[in-house]
């Protein structure tokens, strides 16, 4: 009898633990959760959906064409939770529950994960990561276009050209193709600068910053100067973004009455125009959306567009009568570059996802993600999958989490339907750290849903650790690919492998080329994900196996105990 009581106590304890980690559904959430459709209540719906997806995967061809064009879309700070939350917001804006929605690039045939750490840091910044995914080499935080033997802030250590690394844009230019960059940040910011700059400090965007660091401006020219006067930037056919201030002297104000920041007296916008005139090529400088769109019927050979003194405005806060969308910028860039019969490389960055996360502005971060998806959708419409490789990824993650046990269709921007142990609401999207910290009162969190401004675009989600700016995250980021050799981008790999994979597909750069491999008779077959099957006899044990084994052992010991008594 005593043994049976002991057994019942153990079982009760196990049940208590299960409830602790997996709380029972409250009465108001019993039954069909949220706003699920009637079809989703039936197993037949999910089986049919899975079979349709399987058929689609089996029908996908292993595209082994040469990539004439390569476009890299970079969602700065676009972590996996950002993808999931943006997807939900997309669906909810369309009147659906949201979770089942899909962004354009999420339907690409191949996806993988990249590891974003840098040589001297567990968590990447946008400079060392840009050097990895654009130049194929991991480096230290803050460095652009140079290897890890260079010391940050040390101009002298970066002068040796043997320490410089080429970007995939340089490989494309060397092959006779064209190249360009599009971003919603300053064009001299870390991510776009990774396409062209060689510098020991990502912050040296203008000459004043180099001088402030007591470095030799002649030995280490600033990033804006490099873009206008150095290779490869001075060869780019299209440059679209923000950051006019780094191209203008302090004595000059721009079209929106903002002063420049250069102390050398140089007007780099005028110098860009003078350079193109000296070459005898057609060119155009634009600063607003009207001027940009007027070009569609008469595109120049070279185009420079700087639409803000600083970064472009967040899409939801921008004056769309003067400021272009990322979709519009991308379309113009593609039309500019696609005139080259040999093809092109284009880098497109949705850069303000990152800035919104740094300020704990989840709504804006998700909207910027969806704006980049619109640009990707337009690229897909304009270019053929047969000869255009499109790769979508992020440079690093952020520390926003997507949490709670909310009902299906709960507003992704609202509080979870659960509360904390003090019955205080918490947000479905919250941050580990950042400026959104609220002091606790009497050991309890404040109810953020009662704050003035709750739910507005500038309202900051709550955080655990107070910081002036939220940090990046060290987790892996997703990679999506469509077009020639998309199947190479499956699996988990180092971030610096990405440009090598793109170059292989396009037959550019110093490494292996698909064209050369196709000319041999011993070409190993690539392993596209659609052709890979797992043998039942060699499948990895499931994560549930240890739990099942433990329960079986527990049952055996219990039986033996009863028999012995």
Active-site residue numbers? 126
d(CA 455, CA 494): 38
Question: Coil, strand or helix: which one is 114?
Answer: strand
Q: Are 322 and 155 in contact (CB under 8 A)?
A: no
99 labeled binding residue: no
Helix (H, G, I), strand (E, B) or coil at 158: helix
To 5 degrees, how large is the angle CA 505–CA 507–CA 512? Answer: 85
Would you say 349 is a known binding-site residue? yes
β 472-473/344-350 pair status: unpaired
* Closest to 338 (Cα-Cα) out of 388, 284, 390, 280: 388
Catalogue the E-assigned strands of 256-366: 283-286, 302-306, 344-350
191 labelled binding-site residue: yes
Q: Is 157 exposed, middle or buried (0-12, 13-18, 19+ CB in 10 A)?
A: middle
Please, are residues 3 and 11 in contact by the beta-carbon 8 Å criterion?
A: no
Cis peptide before 141 (omega within 30 of 0): no
- Whether the Cβ atoms of residue 409 and residue 95 lie closer than 8 Å to each other: no
Q: Is 153 annotated as a binding residue?
A: no
Give the pair of three-digit tokens for residue 461: 């989600």
Is 216 annotated to bind ligand?
Answer: no
* CA gyration radius, the chain: 27
* Residue among 285, 332, 76, 82 nearest 194 (CA): 76
Residue 294, C-beta contacts closer than 8 angstroms, at least 6 positions apart: none
- Cα–Cα distance, 168 to 67 (Å, whole number): 13
Q: Is 398 annotated as a binding residue?
A: no
Whether residue 76 is annotated as binding a ligand: the answer is: yes
CA nearest neighbour of 192 among 183, 204, 201: 183
**CA triplet 242, 307, 177: central angle to 5 degrees?**
70
How far is it, in rounded angstroms, from Cα 503 to Cα 498? 9
* Paired tokens of 239: 């440059």
Dist CA 383 CA 333 (whole Å): 12
Q: Which residues belong to the annotated binding site?
A: 76, 189, 191, 349, 354, 358, 395-396, 472
Q: Which residues belong to the annotated binding site for Zn(2+)?
A: 76, 349, 354, 358, 395-396, 472
Q: Which residues belong to the annotated binding site for Mg(2+)?
A: 76, 189, 191
């Amino acid at each position: 009898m005593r043994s049976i009581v002991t057994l019942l106590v153990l079982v009760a304890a196990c049940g208590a633990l299960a409830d602790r980690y997996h709380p029972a559904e409250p009465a108001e959430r019993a039954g069909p959760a949220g706003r699920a459709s009637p079809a989703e209540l039936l197993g037949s719906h999910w089986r049919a959906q899975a079979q349709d997806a399987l058929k689609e995967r089996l029908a996908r061809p292993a595209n082994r064409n040469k990539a004439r064009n390569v476009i890299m879309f970079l969602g700065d700070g676009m972590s996996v939770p950002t993808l999931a939350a943006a997807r939900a917001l997309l669906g909810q804006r369309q009147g659906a529950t949201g979770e089942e929605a899909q962004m354009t690039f999420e339907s690409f045939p191949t996806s993988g994960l990249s590891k974003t750490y840098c040589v001297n840091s567990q968590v990447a910044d946008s400079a060392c990561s840009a050097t990895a995914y654009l130049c194929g080499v991991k480096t230290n935080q803050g460095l652009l276009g140079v290897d890890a033997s260079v010391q940050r802030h040390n101009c002298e250590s970066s002068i040796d050209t043997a320490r410089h690394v080429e970007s995939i844009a340089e490989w494309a230019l060397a092959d006779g193709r064209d190249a360009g960059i599009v971003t919603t940040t300053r064009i001299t910011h870390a991510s776009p600068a990774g396409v062209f700059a060689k510098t020991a400090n990502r912050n040296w965007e203008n000459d004043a910053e180099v001088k402030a660091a007591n470095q030799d401006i002649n030995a280490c020219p600033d990033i804006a100067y490099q873009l206008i006067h150095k290779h490869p930037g001075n060869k780019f056919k299209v440059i679209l973004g923000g950051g006019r201030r780094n191209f203008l002297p302090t004595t000059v104000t721009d079209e929106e009455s903002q002063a420049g920041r250069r102390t050398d007296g140089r007007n780099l916008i005028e110098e860009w125009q003078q350079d193109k005139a000296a070459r005898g090529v057609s060119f155009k400088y634009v600063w607003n959306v009207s001027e940009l769109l007027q070009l569609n019927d008469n595109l120049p050979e070279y185009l420079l567009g700087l639409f803000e003194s600083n970064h472009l405005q967040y899409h939801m806060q921008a004056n769309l009568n003067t400021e272009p969308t990322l979709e519009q910028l991308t379309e113009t860039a593609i039309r500019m570059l696609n005139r080259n019969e040999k093809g092109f490389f284009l880098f497109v960055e949705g850069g303000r996802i990152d800035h919104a996360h740094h300020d704990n502005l989840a709504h804006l971060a998700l909207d910027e993600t969806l704006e980049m998806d619109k640009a990707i959708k337009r690229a897909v419409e304009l270019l053929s999958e047969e000869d255009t490789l499109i790769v979508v990824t992020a440079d690093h993650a952020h520390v926003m989490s997507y949490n709670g046990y909310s009902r299906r269709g709960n507003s992704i921007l609202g509080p979870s339907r659960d509360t904390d142990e003090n019955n205080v609401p918490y947000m479905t999207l919250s941050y580990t750290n950042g400026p959104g910290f609220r002091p606790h009162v009497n050991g309890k969190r404040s109810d953020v849903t009662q704050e003035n401004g709750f739910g507005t675009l500038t309202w900051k989600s709550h955080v655990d650790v107070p910081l002036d700016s939220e940090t990046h995250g060290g987790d892996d980021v997703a990679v999506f690919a469509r077009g020639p050799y998309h199947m190479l981008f499956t699996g988990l790999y180092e971030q610096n492998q990405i440009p090598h994979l793109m170059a292989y597909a396009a037959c550019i750069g110093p490494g292996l080329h698909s064209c050369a491999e196709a000319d041999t008779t011993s070409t190993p077959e690539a392993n596209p994900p659609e052709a890979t099957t797992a043998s039942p006899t060699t499948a990895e044990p499931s994560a549930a196996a240890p739990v099942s084994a433990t329960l079986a052992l527990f049952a055996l010991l219990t039986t033996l105990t009863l028999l012995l008594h």
